[in-house]
Homo-oligomer: A and B are copies of this chain.
Amino acid sequence: MSPKITTELLKQLRQVMKSPKYVQEPVQAYIVPSGDAHQSEYIAPCDCRRAFISGFDGSAGTAIVTEQHAAMWTDGRYFLQAAHQMDNNWTLMKMGLKDTPTQEDWLVSVLPEGSKVGVDPFIIPADQWKRMSKALRSAGHDLVPVKENLIDTIWTDCPQRPCKPLITLDLSYTGVSWRDKIVALRSKMAERKVLWFVVTALDEVAWLFNLRGSDVEYNPVFFAYAVIGMNTIRLFIDGDRMMDPAVREHLQLDSTLEPEFKIQVMPYGSILSELQAVGAGLSPKEKVWLSDKASYALTEAIPKAYQYLTPYTPICIAKAVKNASETEGMRRAHIKDAVALCELFNWLEKEVPKGTVTEIIAADKAEEYRSQQKDFVELSFATISSTGPNGAIIHYKPVPETNRTLSVNEIYLLDSGAQYKDGTTDVTRTMHFGTPSAYEKECFTYVLKGHIAVSAAIFPNGTKGHLLDSFARSALWDCGLDYLHGTGHGVGSFLNVHEGPCGISYKTFADEPLEAGMIVSDEPGYYEDGSFGIRIENVVLVVPAETKYNFKNRGSLTFEPLTLVPIQTKMIDVNLLTQKECNWVNDYHQKCREVIGAELERQGRHEALRWLIQETEPLIRVQ
């Protein structure tokens, strides 16, 4: 992977930062955040401005360009990748390390007195604007909104914003109609005494209307906003997608409806002016509810006194708790996904020793097997197919320049998942196709112990996920090992593979309490730079647990793995497991055999079934 040469681009950007054509006053620094106008994690090509200016295309990062410097903040998943993709014009700021300055502190240290720092107000979330603005102001600088995106002005071949057809989801998938979701939302609005709710996150729009799209790769969403009043529904969306009879029928656009369920369709670009009109028409005590992560531009459309901002919206919270139809869909999706992976691993076991399978070939093969399954739509993220040292690049994606050949001498890490119409999957397995070293087995076993510690944890109803994060690290910590990423994230139901408001990470404190029906990943790892990467990831469902004393009827929770793919026993040092951990592995494999075995049988995939049986032989622990 050779870095992108950005000398000329940075020169151009620095010119427009001073050009009266684009800025009222010159800006001495320009911030290029990661997201789009919806604060999406995965973004459309037209929104990949940070990657365009820097070359670094990981899913998280913020670039700041001043007259003299260019710096990139990203987290532990991307330290190696960012270092590889950026040229010498850029300084990498490793977030989470003690000596790394915050963006604000760094700006204050490098800017001349009384500087202006520019940012696109549609791209920066309101909460970040506020924090950044305050810190800069207290150091004598100003954060200023720059209406025209300065990257777009120098990005001559910027792709068009996508506008693809929509998919309608019926009750068998969603469990709840969009009308009932609107009713529930309005009741939450009434509770908080707000009159309007602005839906800005793309997955929240999709979930609310039981629609899916494909405007953004991997995330089945479409570009739209919605503004929900107590008696009105406005959907801001472009293109002729609303001409599709199935969509019209689904949204009952041509039916005679009670007025409060009549959807007014408006152009995507009119959201700001419409919201300003709403803001202008408010009486005292009338509030508008927005996420505090909504863009600064939309938030400022509502006068401050009328804003009601919360870190998580009621849609975000409702969406996280899957109903019975969604849970059953997720189970089905994970069974199909496991079938595909059994096929893949069986195939790899035979092919890798021939020396002909590269990381890209393996990733493509995984996609091929998945695409054979019913209701397959697309992958849920870029497949991380990595062998040997590439495995240590936590969110690696193989490209021709880095593409390594799988061998019997190196650890192979596959982190992959798919979107099926009935659910979203995300699974990581770490395999060795030869004989792993004692050290590799030792590290793998600690990671496994961490995975089990979370998966089998029992905790009181209402516990926040971040309180479970250390369980995943304890076995690694005992030996002086750790990993620089969180342990788990929420997973959508045929929606974004990363979703809030719950997760398992030392990095957040604002997560919502876990409750039965939530779905998260459990994915501890260990990474040895230049050598190998290990990660074991299941998607798990929060379920009630049975305990002796049941927290005085507060209720007990635990996790049930939805992912049912064998964990390679060859990589396990059984003597490092307790009997309880050993039983967990055997019980898990027994369930894989039963559930996935039956489906492999049903699909007539006999060779993969033989592989499954062999891989799920019980472990025996020598006392």
Contacting residues, chain B, for A285 (C-beta < 8 A): 140
Q: Are B457 and A308 in contact, CB atoms less than 8 angstroms apart?
A: no
Contact of A138 among B305, B460, B470, B547 (CB under 8 A): B305
Say which size band chain A's interface belongs to: 35 or more
Q: Does A551 contact B (CB under 8 A)?
A: yes
Is A155 located at the chain interface by the 8 A CB criterion? no
Chain B: minimal CB distance from A284 (Å): 7
Q: A98-B462, A140-B285, A305-B138 are in contact. Are A548 and B479 (CB under 8 A)?
A: yes
Q: Is A327 an interface residue (CB 8 A)?
A: no
Proximity bits, A116-159, B CB within 8 Å = 1, else 0: 00000000000000000000001010000000000000000000
A509: CB under 8 A from chain B? yes
| A468 interface hit (Cβ, 8 Å) | yes
A241 to B467, CA, bound (A): 48
* Alpha-carbon distance between A308 and B482 when the two chains are bound, in angstroms: 35
| A59 interface residue (CB < 8 Å to B) | no
Minimum C-beta distance from A536 to chain B (A): 19
A460 contacts B482, CB within 8 Å? yes
The distance from the CB of A543 to the nearest CB of chain B, in whole angstroms, is 15
A477: chain B residues at CB < 8 Å are 457-460, 547, 556
Asked if A259 lies at the interface with its beta carbon under 8 angstroms from chain B, I say no
A546 to chain B, nearest CB (A): 9
Find chain B residues with CB under 8 A from A305 CB: 138
Q: Residue A470 contacts which of B140, B468, B479, B482 (CB distance < 8 angstroms)? A: B468
> Which residues of chain B are within 8 angstroms of A464 by Cβ–Cβ distance?
506
What residues of chain B lie closer than 8 Å to A471, measured between beta carbons?
470, 474
Q: Which residues of chain B come closer than 8 Å to A462, judged between CB atoms?
A: 98
- Contact present for A284 and B140 (CB under 8 Å): yes
Question: Which residues of B are found within 8 Å of A551, using beta-carbon distances?
Answer: 480-482
Question: Using an 8 Å CB-CB cutoff, how does the interface string of A548-572 with B read, 1 for contact, 0 for none?
Answer: 1111001010000000000000000
- Picked from B458, B509, B554, the residue with its CB within 8 Å of the CB of A478 is B458
> Among B98, B140, B457, B547, which residue has its beta carbon within 8 angstroms of that of A480?
B547
**A422: interface (CB < 8 Å):** no
Enumerate A424-482 residues with CB–CB distance to B below 8 Å: 457-460, 462, 464, 467-471, 473-474, 477-482
A44 to chain B, nearest CB (A): 34
Task: Give per-residue flags for A514-549: 1 if the beta carbon is below 8 A from chain B beta carbons, else 0.
Answer: 000000000000000000000000000000000111
Q: Which residue of B lies closest to A471 (CB)?
A: B470
Contacts of A138 in B (CB 8 A): 305, 307-308
Assess A547 versus B478: contact at CB under 8 Å? Given A98-B462, A285-B140, A462-B98: yes
A539 to B507, CA, bound (A): 27
Q: Chain B residue with minimal CB distance to A305?
A: B138
Report how far A480 CA is from B546 CA in the complex, Å.
8
Q: A308-B138, A467-B470 are in contact. Are A480 and B548 (CB under 8 A)?
A: yes
Taken residue by residue from 583 to 599, chain A's Cβ proximity to chain B (1 for < 8 Å, 0 otherwise) reads as 00000000000000000
* A459 and B469 alpha carbons, distance in the complex (Å): 13
Would you give 29 A-B contacts (Cβ < 8 Å), ordered by A? A98-B462, A138-B307, A138-B308, A140-B285, A457-B474, A458-B477, A458-B478, A458-B480, A459-B470, A459-B477, A460-B482, A464-B506, A467-B470, A467-B506, A468-B470, A470-B471, A471-B474, A477-B547, A477-B556, A478-B547, A479-B547, A479-B548, A479-B549, A480-B549, A480-B550, A480-B551, A480-B556, A481-B551, A482-B554
Given contacts A459-B473, A480-B549, A509-B509, 11 further A-B contacts (CB under 8 A): A138-B308, A140-B285, A459-B477, A460-B482, A468-B470, A470-B470, A470-B471, A471-B474, A477-B556, A481-B549, A482-B554
Shortest beta-carbon contacts, A-B, top 3: A480-B547, A509-B509, A480-B549
